[in-house]
Structure 1
Amino acid sequence: MKSTAAVLLTSPGEFTTATVELDEPRQNEILVRLVASGMCHSDDHYATGDLRPKVLPFCGGHEGAGVVEKVGPNTEGFAVGDHVVMTFLPACGRCFWCSQGKQELCDNGAQAESGGRPEDPSSYRLSLDGKPVGQMTGLGTFNEYTVINTRSAYKVPKDVPLKYLSLLGCGVGTGYGSAVNAADVRPGHTVIVMGLGGIGSAAVQGAAHAGAANVIVVDPVEFKREVASEFGATESFATIEEAADKARHYTNGQGADSTIVTVGRLQPGDVTAAMESIRKGGTVALTAVGTFQPVATELNLGMLSMMQKTLKGVVFGNWSPFVSVPRLLDMYRSGRLKLDEMVTRTYSIDQVAQGYRDMHAGLNVRGMIDFEK
């Protein structure tokens, strides 16, 4: 079948609309009609060239929700009409990491950037003019329809509106988990969140829900500082230096208990500043993504060791998507998690490039493709 998708033809480049061909779903695969897709900064890294697709053309998008239209042969657990949230980290359930309950590190995830299938990175389900099209993390949710592996799908109740649930597949789980898992925020803590995009706004909610007394947001964009309090921030500043000074004010000069780095494009100076902002025994949760090339970063190693500071890498909030999605969904249903408020603008499938221009201009907390628009 044919479908309209937003693809990269070059990297660096801009997403452009194209008509792609979809294969039929095979065993353990489903065909999904998209209802909505979040526009995460990670997709933009492929457009800017920070990350390079293994295959071009490349269909972006890894934060989607939709309705199952077709189920591959001999595929259990899914039926036509099911509502699903797509998770960008496939989980096999059997590898070394999955067996320890750390599905976010599943060996299948190592194939996610191939653009192919998690079990066979050389196999593709989309094509354009006879050429294979890579799918972002095997999903490619910037597409009216997509074929995905069931290891990347979580079935959700039909009585919950699907549109905003798409955010659970990446940004919300990543940000919320960065606070409650990676940063281990506790009641009474002072927390700094660097960057208020989709992930940052979820991290703020996680810190607030965990009982932090002070949740301090850093963002150079005035609009984002103005809306930070809607997600639970107690204060916001334009620079990390101002935020760190405020954190020291609350902690008798010690610094924040934790700093969560959720900036759009990670720079070496962000790591340095974050490490300097925390107290002895504090934690920096490094969630943001920059280039995958080696870069020089200045750290005071004596401070790191003698003050027992921790620099911790974060993947999907350091928890399994098959744990986070149902928990966060229940919080959303009960009104304790804000998803709708995170989406500040919606776009049609042919407006993806404009959506990312708006993101760079600081106009969005989270942009979303609304396929029903």
Structure 2
Amino acid sequence: MTIRAAVLRATALPRPYTDSLPLTVETVQLTPPQAHEVRVRIVAAGLCHSDLSVVDGNRPRPLPMVLGHEAAGEVIEVGTGVGDLVVGDHVVFAFVPQCGHCAPCRSARPALCEPGAAANGAGELLGGGRRLRDRHGAPLHHHLGVSGFAEEVVVSRQSVVRVDRSLPFEIGALFGCAVMTGVGAIVNTARLRLGESVLVTGLGGIGFAAVLGALAAGAGQVVVADVNDDKLRQALALGAHAAVNSSADGAVEQVRDLTQGGADVGLECAGVVAALDFTWRATRRGGRTVTVGLPHPSQTLAISPVQLVAEERTLQGSYLGSCVPSRDIPAYITLYQSGRLPVDRLLTHRLSLDDINDGFDRLARGEAIRQVILL
């Protein structure tokens, strides 16, 4: 069968992307699902900074590739061995498929699934191989087992979570990355305790979701930091208690003053080493600094081991929000439906697939929280 999809063939092209066109919408071939796979009609797909990091070359991936990893859609075909999904089910994608039997999966840490990570790194599906080809028959890589910037996809059964059919697709897509990563980093990785103070540095879709997650989880104080004053104002409108421009002189001291010595939890969402350093320095003695950012693999962070030990500090990474997607995505959706996690307020732009390069320009300029392609 043939579908339309956004294909990335070259990275690190100059901006604006509306001129250099790193993504081209092409007619591609999609093969039917194999055993333990499903075919899904994509209805909505979000533009995430992790996608931008692939486009701009900061997150190396095998090319050519059909990009996109945050999406929601409807099951239209199931492969053999899939007994718990039926045609018509609505699903949200998880960008790390979980095999269920490796050591991390057995210890309830599917974000670290070893076969899933290997498949994602190779641009293949969990069951091996690729199901996409261009119009000349050349194979195309999958992005994180999803490739959501396409009219239809074939994915592993372990890459989707069934969700409530009443949930709008454009909202459901946000739960596949922005919400799962941001909220999960707060409640699963940092294990926020009632009344603790939180600093969120970097206000993209994940950072804003983390703000909402911290408020829903009972943070006593939420401070936000960014270099964009418009985003700081937006975070205050969402309920953050204080905002600091991290590029200002004395910004770390501002955070430490606001939180009486530093935040209990510092969460870095910018994907920039300087932002992680800022967050580390603004976290209190005995506090937890968590990062979800993905700067270029060559970049490093310097910290003092003496400070780490003598102040009993914690520095920890968080991938997929340390979530168990089948458990956490429905739970976060329930919070949204009850009004306690208003993630619909993060959706700022709706696009067509043909507008994808314009969307990434807007994302790179910091002019959007979450943009969703409607297919």
Q: Which residue of 2 aligns with 1:165?
A: 172
Q: How does 1:181-260 map to 2 (within 5 A)?
A: 181-239=188-246, 244-252=252-260, 254-260=261-267
1:296 CA displacement: 3.8
Q: Which residue of 1 aligns with 2:305?
A: 301
CA distance in 1, matches of 2:187, 2:85: 31
8 Å contact from structure 2 (residues 6, 25) kept in 1:
yes
Residue number among 291, 294, 297 corresponding to 1:289 in the alignment? 294
1:196 CA displacement: 1.1
| Letter of the 1:288 counterpart | G
Residue number among 128, 131, 134 corresponding to 1:125 in the alignment? 131
Residue number among 247, 270, 276 corresponding to 1:271 in the alignment? 276
CA distance in 1, matches of 2:127, 2:310: 44
Determine if the alignment matches structure 1 residue 368 to structure 2 residue 372: yes
Q: Which residue of 1 aligns with 2:76?
A: 69
| Aligned residues: CA RMSD | 1.6
Q: Which residue of 2 aligns with 1:334?
A: 338
How far does the alpha carbon of each residue in 1:244-300 deviate from its partner, in whole angstroms, 9 at most, with x for none?
Answer: 333322444x2111210001x322x2232222111110111011111123x342212
CA distance in 2, matches of 1:327, 1:180: 12
Residue number among 65, 89, 97 corresponding to 2:96 in the alignment? 89
Alignment size in residue pairs: 364
CA distance in 2, matches of 1:228, 1:185: 19
| Letter of the 2:10 counterpart | T
1:242 CA displacement: 5.2
1:243 CA displacement: 5.0
8 Å contact from structure 1 (residues 191, 216) kept in 2:
yes
CA distance in 1, matches of 2:243, 2:178: 21
Q: How does 1:21-60 map to 2 (within 5 A)?
A: 21-54=29-62, 56-60=63-67
1:33 CA displacement: 0.6
8 Å contact from structure 2 (residues 93, 160) kept in 1:
yes
3-state SS in 2 of match to 1:138: coil
8 Å contact from structure 1 (residues 236, 243) kept in 2:
no
CA distance in 2, matches of 1:243, 1:193: 13
How far does the alpha carbon of each residue in 1:112-156 deviate from its partner, in whole angstroms, 9 at most, with x for none?
Answer: 132111132xx1100012111111111100001111110101111
CA distance in 1, matches of 2:323, 2:282: 25
3-state SS in 2 of match to 1:163: helix
CA distance in 2, matches of 1:94, 1:61: 27
3-state SS in 2 of match to 1:288: coil
1:72 CA displacement: 1.5
Consecutive unaligned residues of structure 2, counting only runs of 5 or more, are: 14-21
| Letter of the 2:294 counterpart | V
Q: 4+ runs of 1 displaced by more than 4 Å?
A: 240-243
1:37 CA displacement: 0.5
| Letter of the 1:22 counterpart | L
1:18 CA displacement: 0.9
CA distance in 2, matches of 1:147, 1:242: 50
8 Å contact from structure 2 (residues 96, 145) kept in 1:
no
Q: 1:74/1:322 Cα in 2 relative to 1: closer, same or farther (>3 Å)?
A: closer
1:183 CA displacement: 2.0
3-state SS in 1 of match to 2:133: strand
8 Å contact from structure 1 (residues 63, 167) kept in 2:
yes
Q: Which residue of 2 aligns with 1:262?
A: 269
3-state SS in 2 of match to 1:93: coil
Consecutive unaligned residues of structure 1, counting only runs of 5 or more, are: none
Q: 1:242/1:76 Cα in 2 relative to 1: closer, same or farther (>3 Å)?
A: farther
Residue number among 166, 183, 187 corresponding to 1:180 in the alignment? 187
